[in-house]
Amino acid sequence: MAIELNGTTAEILGEDPLVIKNRKDWYHIHSYGGWGKFFQGLLEKKLLATRCTNSACGENRLWLPPRCECPDCWHEMAWVEAPTVGTIFTHSVVLYPGAPFRASTPCPLISVEIEGVCTKLMSYLKEGKPEMGMPIKAVFNTEKPTNTILDLAWVPA
Amino acid sequence: MIKFGPGNLRIPKFEKPVYVVAGGLTDFRKKYPEKNSSELCTEALRMAVEENDLKVDPEYVRRRVNWCVYSQFADHFGDQLLAAAKIHDYLGFDPLGNIEVKTGGATGGSAVLAAAQAVASGYADCVPVVGWERMDEVSTKVGNSYIASAACKDFESELGWMYAAYYALMAQRYQYENNVPQETLAKIACKNHEYARHSPYSQNPGKYSVQDILDNDVVSDPLSFLECCVMSVGAAVLILADEKTAYELTDHPMKLSAICGGTHTLRTADRRHMPILLLPNETEETYKDYFTGRRHEWPGFSSFLASRMAAYLAYNMAGIKDPVEDFDLLETHDAFTISDIQTYEDIGLRPYGRGREFIESGDAFMEGRLPTNPSGGLIGSMHAVGATGIFQLVEVLWQMQGNWDKFHADPERWSRYGKKKPDDFRSLQVPGVKRACAISHAGTGSHVTCAIMEKP
């Protein structure tokens, strides 16, 4: 039986040198693993962080992004609801994002400082002009969720 | 907080001295369809063995090699996993052993570190380090998203798919804390675009005023296009050897007196406050007034612990007491103007908070105390990621050998790449370089290496 090609071609873009166009079109099936709770929390308008369960550990503040194990002592972390208010630690308005960016531009990115949290979560300001130290509150995209970190955003408090 | 235990800050040592014998480059271009990656690597290797005044013929070098290290940042870009196997085959090094190294933007530095470890331990005595990147198979916007895949894909990449934005967040905070005007950052871009004008290898040379840089389109505020590194195609090769082999191959090897690495969290967000790790030219006194005003933490968003760690180890390993005094030449990983100024502080050219003085004083220029990036750097010359850390050390080697003019000034070399040597060309040979430093840097400071080369 003769082998037949499936009919797709690699389009020629140039002859010298020979340059062809290879199509890539597929999905990655990505698991958030133990961090999934955080993203499920966003759908319930909750900001879920983690805290080390080891009373002897030197770090008792919250981690956001959450971690399943404590990097300081390798003990398990417990899930805790973090405050949904904070302040802008730094900001930048993105004008030329990379190809898969799902939000409109210009888009103000922010790093958020939250009391009791030892990290500064990266996010974006949905409304208003970002300024250093500006009080902000979390808003959650639950209507048509992207199921990514973009479901969390902030607006002036 | 990171607390160091007694073993964590052990100063690395080489059991045997490590030497740098030869280097080779291709030119660097935004698009390079004329040559595939194997051809580019072969071209750089041939320059290393044919044009570095070696005492032996290229075939002899081939027969001396006993281990190879390959350096490519992203399989995404080349769309070829295990590309090192293919390059190794096309370079004719089978069945010798090899290893491919990947640490993001610092891949080149880490690859040289891996090769140095092989030579220093006696595992091998003649090791080519071959680096390349092929970033032209996708559009710039897709390329930026590939690079941003090297940010945290769960919590950060979706926020812009663009590394310039992550550096812009640091820039805003750094400038807020340290009161640095945009003009100071623009001066770094002017310098490196200008130096790139005198290199036949460079991709993005240009004569710009500070105002031109400030007026340029902004990618993510405050960083403009001309303040960001280029995306390149090209290759670089550096050959390392032990002392006996080095002098068998050349009369002018340079000694790699140290190369050390540091790391920090992939996400800038996770960098908690800790005491400043002091370099040999700093004391507690240096920072008694640091945590005042808008500065509350270190390294935070304004400093790179990975760079500080790499410099701490390398300076102690090589006996560096004061980098501005002890080095005659520096190549930094100027991926963005802001990261360059941050690095000045991390590697102790100025104390934290005063990095602007290194550029504003003129120290960083050819005429200054520590000429920095006469290669044109990543902003002016190239950032074919896997090749970058190697490119820096090739340029350093040629500078130290007094061969900069040989590899940059010959009009034939310009025409080799279809270019014309500029009428106002000037030599960027730094006279009498005895000791030089090169910094290779990844992510928003996830991996950094600090290499120190000196005259034996």
pLDDT by residue (tens digit) across B376-435?
Answer: 999 999 999 999 999 999 999 999 999 999 999 999 999 999 999 999 999 999 999 999
Residues B243 and B307 in one domain: no
- Cβ–Cβ of A95/B218 closer than 8 Å? yes
Q: Judge whether A152 is closer than 8 Å to chain B, CB to CB.
A: no
Residues B240 and B260 in one domain: no
Q: B306 in helix, strand or coil?
A: helix
Full domain range(s) for residue B303: 256-454
Tokens encoding B219: 């990618």
Residues B308 and B347 in one domain: yes
Q: B393 in helix, strand or coil?
A: helix
Q: Which residue of B has its CA nearest to A146?
A: B158
Residues B239 and B298 in one domain: no
Residues B243 and B324 in one domain: no
User: What is the model's pLDDT at position B454?
Assistant: 98
**Distance between CA atoms of residues A67 and B154, nearest Å:** 12
Q: What length does chain B have? A: 456
Q: Which residue of A has its CA nearest to B143?
A: A98
- Cβ–Cβ of B169/A92 closer than 8 Å? yes
Stretch B312-334: mean pLDDT = 98
User: What is the model's pLDDT at position A1?
Assistant: 82
Residues B33 and B132 in one domain: yes
Is residue B177 one of the residues assigned to a domain?
no
User: What is the model's pLDDT at position B382?
Assistant: 98
- Cβ–Cβ of B1/A22 closer than 8 Å? no
**Distance between CA atoms of residues B58 and B68, nearest Å:** 16
**Distance between CA atoms of residues A15 and B51, nearest Å:** 33
pLDDT category, A24, cuts 50, 70, 90?
confident
Interface of A with B in 68-127 (CB under 8 A): 89-102, 107, 109, 111, 118-124
Give the one of A35, A94, A121 whose C-beta lies nearest to B160's C-beta.
A94
- Cβ–Cβ of A122/B161 closer than 8 Å? no
pLDDT category, B365, cuts 50, 70, 90?
very high
Residues B378 and B412 in one domain: yes
Residues B289 and B392 in one domain: yes
Tokens encoding B183: 């003009």
B245 touches B65 (CB < 8 A):
no
Q: In Å, how far is B20's CA from the nearest CA of chain A?
A: 36
B72 touches B100 (CB < 8 A):
yes
- Cβ–Cβ of B272/A118 closer than 8 Å? yes
Nearest in space to B217 (alpha carbons), one of B208, B226, B209: B226
Neighbouring-strand partners of residue B69: B99, B129
Cβ-Cβ contacts under 8 Å, A41 against chain B: none
* Residue in A122, A129, A141, A147 to test binding to B, most B beta-carbons within 10 Å: A122
Question: Which residues, in sequence order, are CB contacts of B293 under 8 Å at separation 6+?
Answer: B177
B406 touches B431 (CB < 8 A):
no
**Distance between CA atoms of residues A120 and B166, nearest Å:** 13
Q: Which residue of B has its CA nearest to A63?
A: B270
Give the one of B3, B162, B270 whose C-beta lies nearest to A96's C-beta.
B162
Question: Which residues, in sequence order, are CB contacts of B179 under 8 Å at separation 6+?
Answer: none
Asked if pLDDT for residue B233 goes beyond 70, the answer is yes
Question: Which residues, in sequence order, are CB contacts of B174 under 8 Å at separation 6+?
Answer: B180, B301, B302, B338, B341, B342
**Distance between CA atoms of residues B440 and B101, nearest Å:** 13
- Cβ–Cβ of B268/A111 closer than 8 Å? yes
Residues B110 and B23 in one domain: yes
> How many domains does one find in chain B?
2
User: What is the model's pLDDT at position B406?
Assistant: 98
Residues B243 and B311 in one domain: no
B312 touches B277 (CB < 8 A):
yes
Is residue B288 one of the residues assigned to a domain?
yes
Q: Which positions in chain B have a beta carbon within 8 angstroms of at least one beta carbon in chain A? A: 1, 3, 33-34, 79, 139, 141-142, 144-145, 147-148, 152-156, 158-162, 164-166, 168-173, 176, 217-223, 267-270, 272, 301
Residues B240 and B284 in one domain: no
What b/e sequence results for B34-64 when a residue is b if at least 16 CB atoms lie within 10 Å of its CB, and e otherwise? ebbbbebbbbbbebbbeebebeeeeeebbeb
Is residue B176 one of the residues assigned to a domain?
no
Stretch B334-350: mean pLDDT = 98
Q: In Å, how far is B342's CA from the nearest CA of chain A?
A: 16
Question: What are the pLDDT digits (tens) for B151-204?
Answer: 999 999 999 999 999 999 999 999 999 999 999 999 999 999 999 999 999 999
Q: What is the mean pLDDT of chain A?
A: 97
**Distance between CA atoms of residues B402 and A46, nearest Å:** 63
Whichever domain contains B393, its CATH number is: 3.40.47.10
User: What is the model's pLDDT at position B1?
Assistant: 61
Asked if pLDDT for residue B374 goes beyond 90, the answer is yes
- Say which DSSP state B271 is in: -
**How far, in Å, are B101, B138, B233, B261 from residue B145 at the CA level?**
21, 10, 17, 26
- Cβ–Cβ of B33/A19 closer than 8 Å? yes
Which H/E stretch holds residue B182?
Answer: helix B182-196
Q: What is the mean pLDDT of chain B?
A: 97
Cβ-Cβ contacts under 8 Å, B160 against chain A: 94, 97-98, 101, 107, 109
